[in-house]
Amino acid sequence: MPLDYDAELRLHTDALRRHWNLHPHDRVLDIGCGAGQTTREAAALTGSAFGIDVSAAAIERAQASGSGPDVQFTCGDVQTYAFSPHSFDVAISRFGTMFFTDPPTAFSNIARALRPAGRLAMLVWQPAPRNEWDVSIRQALPAPEAPEAFSLSDPAAVRPLLEAAGFTEVAFTDVHEPVYYGSDVETALTWVRGFTCVQATLTHPGAGDRLRDLFAAHSTPDGIWFDARSWMVTARESSPAAA
CA torsion sign, 48 to 29 to 195 to 64? Answer: positive
Q: How many CB atoms lie within 10 A of CB 14?
A: 12
Determine contact, residues 168/238, Cβ cutoff 8 Å: yes
The pLDDT of residue 20? 96
Ramachandran class of 169: left when φ > 0, alpha when ψ lies in -120 to 50, beta otherwise: left
Q: What is the identity of the amino acid at 155?
A: P
Determine contact, residues 93/31, Cβ cutoff 8 Å: yes
The pLDDT of residue 195? 80
Q: What residue ranges do the domains of the chain occupy?
A: 5-237
The pLDDT of residue 201? 79
Q: How far apart are the first and last CA of the chain?
A: 51
Which residue from 33, 9, 166 is spatially nearest to 97, judged by alpha carbons? 33
The pLDDT of residue 151? 96
Determine contact, residues 22/47, Cβ cutoff 8 Å: no
The pLDDT of residue 242? 60
Report the chain (243 residues): mean pLDDT per 10 consecutive residues: 87 96 96 96 95 96 81 96 97 97 97 98 97 91 76 98 98 98 94 80 82 95 97 95 60
Q: Which CATH number fits domain 5-237: 3.40.190.10, 3.40.50.150, 3.40.50.300, 3.40.91.10?
A: 3.40.50.150
The pLDDT of residue 66? 72
- Give the contacts of 139 (CB within 8 A, at least 6 positions apart): none
The pLDDT of residue 150? 95
The pLDDT of residue 169? 98
